[in-house]
Amino acid sequence: MSNREKIIKIIEQKGQQSIKQLAESLEISLSMVHRHIRRLIAEDKLQKIGFAPRVFYVLAERKKKKLYEFSDVARKIVEQNFLYISPRGERLEGVKGFVLWCEKRGFNPVKKSGEYMKVNQKYKKLRKNGVISGKNKMIETFGDQLCVKDVFYADFYAWEIFGKTKLGQLLLYAKQSQDKKMIKEVAQKAEPIIQKLLKAKKIGAVGFIPPTVKRQTQFMKVLQQSLNIALPTIEIVKARTDIVTPQKTLNKLEDRIENADYTILVAERKKYKNVLLIDDAVGSGATLNQVACKLKRLCVAQNIYGFALTGSAKGFDVISEV
């Protein structure tokens, strides 16, 4: 029996194994095990789990793949827009992810792709100059208490039927995993959209909505550092309170407004004509609007625009996951 066959046998009997465990069982060098593992992965016999230094290997699933005949248009739209993060933490983009997502739910992928195209087209119509305006929703929510001139989304956070959009998925997992690489990927997608807005609205300064949940790696901080914005940044901070109450834990609009008004402080005294406030996700829009109201009360800005990577598609939706 060859060493590669022995590796398969060991994992069949014992389950996931590290390189060190396999080297001890086979009594061969670590480099030799690495060589065998690379070959077995290339042959689709093993798959890797985790990242260094905690990496394990398991048997690859041997499923017979069904072939689905997507139309050229459907394939293109799905490839460009769909992202599925599996329960195992696998990142599967395009058709590959769409097929798995459908199969897990008992859907025929080809038939479902027709629905996906319709939903995609519905929201595509709302996009103008690369962004989606949330102004009407903000007017309905805040009425004469609205302080932002307009709010723009790079994309919606989620669609009906298909759940989170590609950008919604990236935002959620970037924040939850505190993955700087993924945060920077999101920043790269957002930067050309933001730069276009800065130019179109003749923005003189930007402000970043501060995070309300304490994390070792803060998404908004890394996003701010990753964006190449050559404009003054207005200092906006979240005040410490006796008990930390994150916005996402508040389900009533009035509570969110009160929380933002009381805990978010603006330390800017310069005056600008046009300002852009940048946030990660807009659910109710309460935080963004209250910061805008403070800027107006302090006479920091005449016109305040909002930009969020993602926003809710309708009404008063609270995006509590992020």
Where would I find the H helices in 129-179? Answer: 135-142, 166-177
- What lies within 8 Å, CB to CB, of 198 at 6+ separation is 206, 229, 231, 276
CB 310, CB 319: distance < 8 Å? yes
Spatial CA neighbour of 314 closest among 164, 154, 157: 157
| pLDDT > 90 fraction of the chain, expressed in percent and rounded | 52
Which residue carries 């307009």 as its tokens?
Answer: 150
pLDDT for residue 314 is more than 60? yes
Strand partners, 159: 163
Taking residues 172-191, report their average pLDDT.
91
According to the model, what pLDDT value does residue 42 have?
86
Taking residues 227-250, report their average pLDDT.
76
What is the second-level CATH architecture of the domain 3-59? Orthogonal Bundle (1.10)
**For the chain, first and last CA: distance in Å?**
51
pLDDT for residue 211 is more than 50? yes
pLDDT tens, 138-157?
Answer: 888 889 899 999 999 999 99
pLDDT for residue 316 is more than 50? no
Q: Where in the chain is the domain with CATH 1.10.10.10?
A: 3-59
Mean pLDDT, the chain, whole residue set: 88
DSSP string, 49-101: EEETTEEEEEEPP-PPPPP----HHHHHHHHHH-EEE-TT--EEEHHHHHHHH
Which residue carries 């949330």 as its tokens?
Answer: 134
According to the model, what pLDDT value does residue 202 have?
97
CB 280, CB 171: distance < 8 Å? yes
CB 83, CB 92: distance < 8 Å? yes
How many residues does this entry show for the chain?
A: 322
H-run or E-run covering 8: helix 3-14
pLDDT tens, 105-132?
Answer: 999 999 999 999 999 999 999 999 899 9
Do you find a cis peptide bond into 53, omega within 30 degrees of 0? yes
Taking residues 284-307, report their average pLDDT.
92
The Cα–Cα gap between 19 and 295 comes to: 57
Which residue carries 């793949």 as its tokens?
Answer: 65
The Cα–Cα gap between 16 and 22 comes to: 10
- What lies within 8 Å, CB to CB, of 9 at 6+ separation is 1
The Cα–Cα gap between 18 and 216 comes to: 29
More confident residue, 244 or 291: 291
- What lies within 8 Å, CB to CB, of 177 at 6+ separation is none
pLDDT tens, 63-92?
Answer: 556 788 999 999 999 999 999 998 878 899
* Confidence at 220, pLDDT banded by 50, 70, 90: confident
Residue 139 carries which side chain, given as an amino acid letter?
I
The Cα–Cα gap between 162 and 174 comes to: 20
Residue 132 carries which side chain, given as an amino acid letter?
I
pLDDT tens, 243-267?
Answer: 666 666 666 777 777 777 677 888 8
User: Residue 4: helix, strand or coil by DSSP?
Assistant: helix
Taking residues 283-300, report their average pLDDT.
90
| pLDDT > 70 fraction of the chain, expressed in percent and rounded | 91
